Amino acid sequence: MYTLNAPAVYAHKSVMGNPVYRARVERVVAALKERREVIPYADNDVPRLIREDRIFRNRVIMGTRPDMPDPILLFNTFRFGDDDAAFRAREASWKEAGVEIGHCRDALLGTGAFCWKGYNQKGDPNRHDKVCRPCWCIHLQDGCLHKCAYCGTGGLLVSMVNVEEYCENLGRLIEQHPWQKAYLIDDDADPICLEPEMDCLGRIIEFFGTLKDRYLIIHTKTWNTSWLKDLKHNGNTIIVWSLGGSTQSRVFEPNTGTMEQRIEAARIAEESGYQIRYKFKPIIPVEDWQRDAADAIELALRATHPDVISLCVFMWMDVDELKRRFASVLDRIDPRFLAAAEEGRTEVAQSLTKPFPQRMRAEIYDHYLAEIRKRDKDIPVSLSTESFDIWKDFAKKLGMNATNYVCGCGPQTTPGAKLLYEHPFTTAVKNVSGVGAVVTGA
């Protein structure tokens, strides 16, 4: 488990009343830098936790806080037995008490175990500007121990601990979606951080180990993989490292594993039989980014054998927001890229891929692709959450296009896949019958 100094620890009564769940909390607390008393709470206490205990006080963009503390820990359970009316009544009672639940809404309610992502399907407002795959994502946590400057999920880490019940319900979801081969867990968290003390992620890894042709995908920046060695994963867990160069990992992503530590963690996982992958995401054009990229690629491909590498330049915000989040380290950005973002405001104004114009992102992708091909001529290399426009320019270079590429966390990218042979946008059909009310986006 990571070394952390949590300001406070809360556990819902459904956790404290179950000896197995409670033991999970107690093991985490025993491993804290400073031991904390576990504060029990009930649903009707949530307004007090928000107003008086101010559990959201540090739910801010972490780069705006040079002294960002470790997060408060809160443990809860998914309420698989509740229906939609129960969830609505719970949230309505909080609103009546004078609080609006924005942060961690689903995790506090006990819903959101499974989330439908209708990417590039009808109704997706970003379908023409972001290439991704429709799928079910699964969740255990909301929040993160890492302190990446660009991220807003610090301050409070909510962890759900009824993993045995979770796996039972997940099994039904999997049965109803035969087209989905792989399930990404916690796309906005890093579930490895509290393990193995919490003893939840390992249970899910071993659950997938009992399945045939179904895979768990863990997307991480961690160094913490030694505990994975003895799990019965049976080759059904894929671990994807979000990888950045040395400068990026140290300056912009504190509390993560460094570039070197992540690759060593990947080596340990691969040695233990896990399929590993890399996403260079987000690629921040730091000073001397070309050398940083070459060094990271050389070490990754010398030490490990990923089956897919994905690329994604830093995006999702305009240049003013980038400057706000990176205020204390702005001088570490390549001035040519910062100038291009400033000058290209109008060009990228309506794009999700801002702040860097397409020509600048293409320059980065060309460099990364060239460095990868120096060392491996055949490994699939794809773009992640990029635009259809840039895919048109890179399809020939990559040997795949926006609809048949394999990616690090795609629902149909099984280990060793080189291309998709079914259309990912039309193959994905959602079926929510019998999965209960703990889903979102459905």
Quick: pLDDT tens for 184-199.
999 889 999 999 999 9
Task: Examine residue 354 and state whether it is found in any structural domain, yes or no.
Answer: yes
Nearest to 417 by CA among 310, 309, 300, 308: 308
Give per-residue pLDDT as tens, 158-178. Answer: 999 999 999 999 999 999 999
Task: Examine residue 2 and state whether it is found in any structural domain, yes or no.
Answer: no
The length of the chain, given as a count of residues: 442
Task: Examine residue 128 and state whether it is found in any structural domain, yes or no.
Answer: yes
pLDDT given for residue 66 in this prediction: 83
Which tokens go with 263? 């690759």
Task: Examine residue 211 and state whether it is found in any structural domain, yes or no.
Answer: yes
Is the pTM above the cut of 0.75?
A: yes
Residue 277, strand partner residues: 240
| CATH at 180 | 3.80.30.30
pLDDT given for residue 440 in this prediction: 85
Give CA separation, 267 vs 157, 197, 275, in Å.
Answer: 28, 22, 10
How would DSSP label each residue in 203-256? HHHHHHHTSSS-EEEEEE--S--GGGTTS--TT-EEEEEE---HHIIIIISTTS
Q: In what order do the strands lie in the sheet with 9-12?
A: 38-41, 9-12, 72-76, 156-160, 141-142
Q: Are 206 and 231 in contact (CB under 8 A)?
A: yes
Pick out the chain residues at pLDDT < 50. none
Task: Examine residue 301 and state whether it is found in any structural domain, yes or no.
Answer: yes
Q: Are 51 and 98 in contact (CB under 8 A)?
A: yes
Task: Examine residue 4 and state whether it is found in any structural domain, yes or no.
Answer: no
Domain with 338 in it? 9-440
Q: Are 383 and 391 in contact (CB under 8 A)?
A: yes
Nearest to 225 by CA among 169, 265, 284: 265
Q: How many domains does the chain have?
A: 1
Task: Examine residue 3 and state whether it is found in any structural domain, yes or no.
Answer: no
Task: Examine residue 101 and state whether it is found in any structural domain, yes or no.
Answer: yes
Spatial distance between the Cα atoms of 155 and 11, rounded to a whole number of angstroms: 16
Would the CA dihedral through 148, 153, 158, 164 be positive or negative? negative
Nearest-Å Rg of the Cα atoms of the chain is 21
Spatial distance between the Cα atoms of 421 and 405, rounded to a whole number of angstroms: 9
